[in-house]
Every structure is written in structure tokens, then in C-alpha cells.
Amino acid sequence: MTHSHHAASAHRVHGQATDDNSHRHDDAGFPDGGDDLLDLDGEVLAAYWDAALDRVAAAVTEAAGTGTRSPARVVDLGAGTGTGALGLARRLPQAEVVAVDVAERSLARVAAKAQAAGVADRVRTLVADLDDGCPDLGPVDLTWASMSLHHLADPVRSLTELREITSPGGYLAVSEFDEPVRFLPDYLGAGRPGFEGRLLGALESVHAEAVPHIGSAWADLLADAGWTVVDQHDVVIDERSPEHPLAGRYAQEWFTRLAHGLEGRLDPDDERTLAALLDDDSPHGLLRRADLHLHGIRTLTIARR
């Protein structure tokens, strides 16, 4: 299993982020290098992260109030650069948090952020690939997996192994997307209308070849692995530029990675449009646009052992 979020899971192209430990290729099928994209995902989509992590923390806190002990060990699977790990460390101040990813470079960012946030004594990192078997993390009270489980070779097997190291009454929270976040209006002032839709169609073809579990029904897979689903909630993403000062940079990182991942898969007109979007000197460049609108949905599924 790989990284996370968009960016987003890694969490990692969309990551979408990318949220969020296996073959170390992002959702568009090219080698990683998207740590900046993951950091931007955490900053620009802060409202999504807050809503999702608040809901997870509330679920385990309410369980603690009914007599179940509060989480002592929390795992962020496919931690990327640590948005989820650090967010859970803040929300669950008694818990030890283990950030798991295949990329040592990403985990170095997690460690540096934990140090800066004053939680380095409770946040540790672990390099591991879940496709090689579940690492000896148990007993785990809560696992968070954002934009990472769709990379698993055999999700049901891995989720079953994860359940086996989870404490009785422990939780697993999965955040995944049906399709990447969208950024652009239909007409850009350059090229043919519907440009972003065509790019996402090409990306879907790449996913079908390389990341077959994107869009999976995670509630069903969790049930197949023996988990009991207790909550499923769509978290809406709705951020407009220039209201967020980093929205343009986030879009530029995302489309730069798409340009590499979809090389040779776009028609010449769309190639020119993409080049114009990525050209800082172009009037149509992403950093100059005031019409960016980041919108989409990530589905949060919470299950209990």
C-alpha cells in the first residue's frame, strides 16, 4: 500500500493526496515526489481534514464515554507527510500515534512536524508496506487511512490482517474518493470546453490499469474482512480561489503531476491547454486565475472490530 491523500491523499496523485504504503507510485502511475502536494492538500483542504478527523475523534471519544478505554495507540496508514497523524495527535492527547508509510522522506517530514508541534514524544514513524503483511503494531485502538487503501493489492486480506491486530472494540476510519477533486470551470479562455473532464477521463483509464481499487465500495470490503461498519459520511470539499492564497499553488502541483502521468494520452489541443495552465507567464496560468473552485467529495467510513 502506498502513501496517502491527494493529494489528498497523497494521500499519490489525487491525492488527492493524497492522503494517506506499497508500490510507491501515485494514482497517475508515475514515481512519487508529491510531498509538497500532500502538504498543500492539508493546508488548502483544512476544512475537509478538520471535519473528517473531528468525526473520527468524536466516534472514539463517545465510545470511551460508554466504558471503552480511550485510544492508547493510533496508526495512520499511508501517512504521507502527516496531516492525519498530527491532527489525531492533537485531538487524542493521551494516544501514541504511529505514522506508517513506505517513503522515508515523507516520514522525515512527519517527524519534523511533530517536533515543531511539541508532540514528538507521542508521534513515531515506521517504514512499512502493508502488501508485505501487517507490521507488528498491535494492539491498535484506532487506524486512520486516508487516500491510501485503494493502492492495496488485496484489500480484504490486508483489512483482515489489520483487524487481527486491532483491540476488541477498536476502530478503523477510511477516507477515499470516487473521483479526484475538480478545480476548473468548463471554459478556460483557451482550448475546447470540458478540458478537465477529458483529463479526468484519461486519468480514470490509468487508474483502471494501475490502481484497480479506486472507487471500491469500502463499506462492503470492510464487512468482507470482518469489520462492523458504524458510520459512513460524505465530506464535501468546497474551496474557492482566491479566497485561499495557496489554491493556485495546489492546482499547479496537481496539474504538473497530471502532465507527467498522462504524457502521451492527451490530444494535441489539450496538451497545449495544459501547457498554458502551467505557464506562469500565460494569462491562462493557474497561478493567475481567480476562477478556481476546488470541489468534490471524500467518503469517510468508520468501522469497529
List domains and CATH numbers for the chain.
Answer: 9-238+293-304 (3.40.50.150)
DSSP bridge pairs for 231: 302
Q: How much is the pLDDT for 32?
A: 45
Nearest to 301 by CA among 239, 237, 223: 223
Give dist(CA 281, CA 276) in Å, integer: 9
Single-letter code of the amino acid located at 185: P
Q: How much is the pLDDT for 130?
A: 86
Phi, psi of 118 (to 5 degrees): 75, 25
Q: How much is the pLDDT for 8?
A: 35
DSSP state of 70: P
DSSP state of 69: P
Question: The pTM is what?
Answer: 0.85
Secondary structure in 3-state letters for 164-178: HCEEEEEEEEEEEEC
In order along its 305 residues, the chain shows pLDDT tens digits of: 444 343 333 333 233 333 333 333 344 333 345 899 999 999 999 999 999 999 999 999 876 665 555 789 999 999 999 999 999 999 999 999 999 999 999 999 999 999 999 999 999 999 999 889 888 887 999 999 998 888 888 889 999 999 999 999 999 999 998 778 999 999 999 899 999 999 999 988 887 776 655 656 899 999 999 999 999 999 999 988 767 889 999 999 999 999 998 999 999 999 999 999 999 999 999 999 999 999 999 999 999 99
Q: In what order do the strands lie in the sheet with 123-127?
A: 123-127, 96-101, 73-77, 140-146, 166-177, 293-304, 228-240
Q: How many other β-carbons are positioned within 10 Å of the β-carbon of residue 163?
A: 20
Give dist(CA 96, CA 91) in Å, integer: 12
C-alpha cell at 233: 459520511
